[in-house]
Amino acid sequence: MTDVLAERAEIDGAIAGRTIATAFADTVGVQGHNPAYSDKVGLPEGSTDWRTLSWNELREQGLSLAAALVDLGVEPGDRVAIMATNRIEHILADIAAMHAGAVAVSIYNTLSPTQVAYVAGHSAPTVVFLENADHVERWAQALSEIKPLAVVVMDAEARFSDALTWDELVARGRAVQDTHAAEVERRWTAIDAGDPVTFVYTSGTTGNPKAVVLTHRNIMFETASTDKTVNSEGEHIALSYLPYAHVAERVLGIYLPQINGAHLFLIADPKLLVGALGQVRPTRFFGVPRVWEKIQTGIQGLLAMETDEAKKQAVADAMATGLEYVTSREYGNTTSPELQARFEAADAAVLMPMKAMLGLDRVEWAGSASAPMPLETAKFFAGLGFSIYDIYGMSETSGAVTACGPGAFRLGTVGRAQPGIEVRLADDGEILARGPVTIDSYFENPEATAELLDSDGWVHTGDIGVIDEDGFFRVVDRKKELIITSQGKNISPSNIENYLKESPLVGHALAYGEGKPYVVAILTLDPDVAPIIAGKLGIEGATLADLAIHPGILGIVGQAVDAANERLSRPEQVKKWTLLPVEWSAESAELTPTLKLKRRVVHANYAVEIDALYAG
């Protein structure tokens, strides 16, 4: 404990009196003319060029836009909502909100209109930034209810009545910058470390999403603590492609660069990631497990196409050496001079050319989080000489509370507690965390806050873990029912299931997708309603098993799935489903005596059916 408190005091001393706004000003003072953010917005498809702003330009434009927000009537503490892909305007809107003293709230582009309306009603933004016509449509209901001071549309062709275009906001900022310069200066310099910098809306196991309130101190401590773990010096060039509504990308793609300096290449569509890797050749790369799995699949596909057996064997031998080398660098192990020499030879002859082909040859730090990294995937990349450092945390802890790093890692674990952060296991194995990175509350949700934080300030993560003798944590199960897909999207299965069961024909539903690329559903028929509907369809004397394969019944159930999907965001939508020929009950073990779903029992009893939904 003494070491943790000493580390905490050291970090607190380093960040004392600093906010993200002051750190950003310091970064601009040092980086100045260096490139800050680049994107491809407005460039022809396939172009190898990038649209780039320097650090000076980024801050100058951000301050001008902050003046425009002040002119519109934005007050300190107001929320500013942003729904947009990863593009320079998203970053500028965020920076402008902060310098106007407001709280930036990035919102997932995939939320349904109903979900947008809830988040908008809860956060009550005074200004809303939208990117395109799709986003305007998703916000139509919300905008009719909350009546913000202004709506700014980035793509001019998506403009609607009463909305401002991005260019109009920019022009307004230039026109009023001198008028409001002193007020903007007063606002950003008056920010306190304890003031909110953002809300991150996170999915709950049931009900509506909760707004995680992250402060400047939360983020400043998180980045300083992570820097000690990463211990990565040199040029910081990275790709930003995950949504800024996700805490990992918000920290890595917005705050960390502003605090420490970097050059970020913004990717609007993650499908363009592979091509961008080859162009950018980043020095740091963060990917959720699904991204690493896709890269792995691509490499394995190329290797399978190789017809020269000698070359295939050479690659296999080199990757075996790579795995041996990375394993030798795990905590507690040593690398012999002989292995070091063998690895350097294999890396130069085989592994480095393979990494160069992917655009990963300059990567000095590679990380993964949001969902557990499959051990086989970690070992595959270890074969290329990569140590992918697994990270564990949540929105409520500003991101990472444990992490592997160059100084200490162990494959198959999420590392040790970050400097200055306390992490331990409760009596039931739940992972608990405490420190300056943990939130004080959810926004206007005292009940959920009380469930999250205990009287001693420990955050209850809802994850079950184990810890080894060297302090490395491994997440082995989820105490809560929240699904985390392989893309790192947090999904509430209960919400999906409740929508599915709104059809009287559906008796029970189980949504599944933990660690998978999409959500599937296992459904059963209501034993009372199904015969009635069957009678209306002219089906007489059929059993539940017969009805489960009847085209008419399947059509109605399909309509129920479609209706549920219309109310869900894209990551939550059920991509495939199956209708079981049986009924679930307490007697059949799938339900508790109070008729609650026993998820693990269903997972075990219908593993074949679930696997079939992901086949092919």
Exposed / middle / buried, residue 446 (Cβ in 10 Å: 0-12, 13-18, 19+): exposed
Kindly give the pairing relationship between strand 422-425 and strand 430-434.
antiparallel
Higher pLDDT, 437 or 407: 437
In angstroms, the CA 457 to CA 116 distance is: 31
86 Ramachandran zone, left/alpha/beta (phi>0; psi -120 to 50): beta
Distant-in-sequence contacts of 317-321, Cβ < 8 A, 24+ apart: 317/346, 318/346, 318/347, 318/349, 318/350, 318/351, 318/383, 319/351, 319/383, 319/384, 320/383, 321/346
Contacts of 569 (CB under 8 A, 6+ apart): 108, 110, 111, 112, 115
Give the angle 222-62-38 at the CA atoms, nearest 5°.
Answer: 75
- The answer to whether the CB of 319 falls within 8 A of the CB of 351 is yes
Higher pLDDT, 50 or 428: 50
What is the predicted pLDDT for the residue at 1? Answer: 54
DSSP code per residue over 479-515: SS--EE-TT--EE-HHHHHHHHTTSTTEEEEEEE-TT
> Tokens standing for 352?
């480095």
pLDDT band at 205 (very low <50, low <70, confident <90, very high): very low
Q: Looking at the predicted structure, is the pLDDT value of residue 117 above 80?
A: yes
- The answer to whether the CB of 394 falls within 8 A of the CB of 479 is no
Q: Looking at the predicted structure, is the pLDDT value of residue 478 above 70?
A: no
The pLDDT of 1-9, averaged and rounded, is: 87
Question: What is the CATH code for 20-42+50-191+235-282?
Answer: 3.40.50.12780
| Buried-exposed string 282-299: b where 16+ CB fall within 10 A, e elsewhere | bbbbbbbbbbbbbbbeeb
Count CB atoms within 10 A of the CB of residue 490. 20
Q: Looking at the predicted structure, is the pLDDT value of residue 468 above 90?
A: yes
Q: Which CATH superfamily is domain 491-614 in?
A: ANL, C-terminal domain (3.30.300.30)
Best CA proximity match to 112, nearest among 140, 84, 132, 133? 140
Best CA proximity match to 414, nearest among 474, 461, 374? 474
In angstroms, the CA 420 to CA 3 distance is: 8
Best CA proximity match to 149, nearest among 233, 68, 243? 68
> Tokens standing for 340?
């070091």
What is the predicted pLDDT for the residue at 594? Answer: 46
Contacts of 20 (CB under 8 A, 6+ apart): 98, 197, 216, 219, 220, 255, 258, 259
Q: Looking at the predicted structure, is the pLDDT value of residue 160 above 50?
A: yes
Q: Looking at the predicted structure, is the pLDDT value of residue 477 above 70?
A: no
The pLDDT of 592-615, averaged and rounded, is: 83
Q: What are the pLDDT digits (tens) for 514-560? A: 999 999 999 999 888 888 889 889 998 889 999 999 999 999 999 99
Residue 516: its H or E element: none
In angstroms, the CA 145 to CA 125 distance is: 12
Contacts of 524 (CB under 8 A, 6+ apart): 506, 507, 508, 509, 579, 580, 582, 583, 584
What is the predicted pLDDT for the residue at 59? Answer: 98
Contacts of 52 (CB under 8 A, 6+ apart): 35, 36, 37, 38
Q: Looking at the predicted structure, is the pLDDT value of residue 190 above 50?
A: yes
HEC readout, 219-267: HHHHHHHHHHHHCCCCCCEEEECCCCCCHHHHHHHHHHHHHHCCEEEEC
Q: What are the pLDDT digits (tens) for 11-56? A: 999 999 999 999 999 999 999 999 999 999 999 988 899 999 999 9
* Percentage of the residues of the chain whose pLDDT score is greater than 90: 76
Distant-in-sequence contacts of 606-609, Cβ < 8 A, 24+ apart: 606/522, 606/580, 609/522, 609/578, 609/580
Cα R_g (the chain), whole angstroms:
26
DSSP code per residue over 119-131: HHHHH--SEEEE-
Residue 472 has phi, psi (to 5 degrees) of -85, 130
Cα dihedral sign, 131-135-137-138 = negative
Count CB atoms within 10 A of the CB of residue 190. 12
Domain with CATH 3.40.50.12780 in the chain: 20-42+50-191+235-282, 285-481
- The answer to whether the CB of 223 falls within 8 A of the CB of 255 is yes
Give the angle 571-448-518 at the CA atoms, nearest 5°.
Answer: 15
Residue 506 has phi, psi (to 5 degrees) of -90, 120
What is the predicted pLDDT for the residue at 593? Answer: 43
What is the predicted pLDDT for the residue at 601? Answer: 85
Which strands form 422-425's sheet, in the order they lie side by side?
Answer: 422-425, 430-434, 459-467, 473-478
In angstroms, the CA 603 to CA 613 distance is: 13
pLDDT band at 274 (very low <50, low <70, confident <90, very high): confident
In angstroms, the CA 445 to CA 112 distance is: 22
**Mean of the per-residue pLDDT values of the chain:** 92
Q: What are the pLDDT digits (tens) for 60-99? A: 999 999 999 999 999 999 999 999 999 999 999 999 999 9
- The answer to whether the CB of 214 falls within 8 A of the CB of 439 is yes
Does this model's pTM top 0.75? My answer is yes
What is the predicted pLDDT for the residue at 204? Answer: 46
DSSP at 161? T
Domain with CATH 3.30.300.30 in the chain: 491-614
What is the predicted pLDDT for the residue at 452? Answer: 96
- The answer to whether the CB of 540 falls within 8 A of the CB of 529 is no
Q: Which fold has domain 285-481?
A: Rossmann fold (3.40.50)
In angstroms, the CA 568 to CA 566 distance is: 6
The pLDDT of 287-310, averaged and rounded, is: 82
Residue 405 has phi, psi (to 5 degrees) of -155, 175
Q: What are the pLDDT digits (tens) for 339-363? A: 999 999 999 999 999 999 999 999 9
- The answer to whether the CB of 409 falls within 8 A of the CB of 345 is no
Query: Tokens 């040593």, residue?
Result: 334
Q: Which amino acid is at 379?
A: K
